[in-house]
Amino acid sequence: MARVCAVHLVWAPLGLGPLRRFARSYRDRAAGLSHDLLVVFNGFEGGRALAAARGEVSELAHEPLVLPSPAQDLAAYRTAATHAAGTGVLAFLNSHSEPLVEGWLALLAGQLDEPGVGIAGATGSYESAFSAAPRPLKLLRRRQFPPFPNPHVRTNAFAIGRDTMLELDWCVGRSKGSAHRLESGWHGITRQLRAAGLDARVAGCDGRGYAPEAWAASATFRAGGQANLLVADNRTRQYDEADPGRRSELARMAWGAGAEEVNPARPAPASRA
């Protein structure tokens, strides 16, 4: 496999809690793959806050990258990709990310070794910001997002080839809406890749790579008790902590009216040679 760089984004307004959770999980759960770690500090103005954040990862072998001004997550990822010259594969982990199993990075990045796969995520969804929009926003969202089902890799945790990423139209403004459009809009990352003949996969801790038509059954996001999830984030924790009614609502948003909930045991991580 090409040289791999894991990129973790630290968003200053969240405080130190999410960073501590990531650092503990990263330290305790071996990635299963030789890699570099780039920690991107986003939204820090210097001084004590930055020093405290850097102290949380001082025991991890990593390279720090301090952004000069606050940026949306996907814009920060593009800056990190430009910075990480010489890297073949980038694995991005947002500020809420928490690896859950041993070998998580090998399982995620390993999907890119499969012919024709351009992106691999820990989770994917069919959700549509157009279909889910209230009536006053429908007209605007129709121009921005495909209707349900709108399969896309969620960008909380995903791996992509650096050269592939830099060839994409990666337009992100200062608004959260622009980041949502790049993730799941008409010209979003997954749709750009599929237009170029490259497919998307969701990686489970069972070692399998799931094609879009199998995502709802993969038990990785808002289904199956999320028992096959590699990397948790705030949205997967939201589902875990919800009552049954809210869980059903979240599952319908991701997978449609036929979504069902079961609770299998988490499979043992697959070993990779």
- Write the pLDDT tens digit of every residue in 172-227: 988 889 999 999 999 999 999 999 999 999 999 999 999 999 999 999 999 999 99
The CA-atom distances, in angstroms, between 35 and each of 87, 105, 219 are 10, 9, 27
Contacts of 45 (CB under 8 A, 6+ apart): 12
Return the structure tokens found at 17: 């809690």
* Residue 264 domain flag: no
Asked if residue 78 lies in contact with residue 169, where contact means CB atoms within 8 angstroms, the answer is: no
In the block, residue with structure tokens 């910001």? 129
* Residue 21 domain flag: yes
Sequence letter at residue 25: S
pLDDT score, position 170: 96
pLDDT score, position 263: 42
pLDDT score, position 45: 86
Confidence of residue 9 (pLDDT cuts 50, 70, 90): very high
**Average pLDDT over every residue of 75-80:** 98
- Given a cut of 60, whether residue 245 has pLDDT beyond it is yes
Confidence of residue 267 (pLDDT cuts 50, 70, 90): low
* Residue 266 domain flag: no
The pLDDT tens digits for 33-65 are 999 999 999 999 878 999 999 999 999 999 999
- 70: CATH: 3.90.550.10
pLDDT score, position 266: 47
* Residue 271 domain flag: no
Which residues pair with residue 158 across a beta bridge?
92, 121
Distance of CA 6 to the CA centre of its chain: 12
Cα–Cα distance measured from residue 199 to residue 196, given in angstroms and rounded to the nearest whole number: 9
Mean pLDDT of the chain: 93
Tell me, what DSSP letter sits at residue 175? S
pLDDT score, position 74: 98
* Residue 262 domain flag: no
- Given a cut of 90, whether residue 99 has pLDDT beyond it is yes
Structural domain boundaries, residue 119: 4-255
pLDDT score, position 264: 44
Count how many domains the chain has.
1
- Given a cut of 50, whether residue 265 has pLDDT beyond it is no
* Residue 272 domain flag: no
Confidence of residue 270 (pLDDT cuts 50, 70, 90): low
* Residue 260 domain flag: no
**Average pLDDT over every residue of 105-110:** 98
Confidence of residue 76 (pLDDT cuts 50, 70, 90): very high
Cα–Cα distance measured from residue 1 to residue 109, given in angstroms and rounded to the nearest whole number: 9
- Given a cut of 90, whether residue 100 has pLDDT beyond it is yes
The pLDDT tens digits for 117-144 are 999 999 999 999 999 888 888 888 899 9
pLDDT score, position 1: 65
φ/ψ of 105, rounded to 5, equals: -75, -40
* Residue 263 domain flag: no
Determine how β-strand 4-11 pairs with β-strand 89-93. parallel
Tell me, what DSSP letter sits at residue 168? S
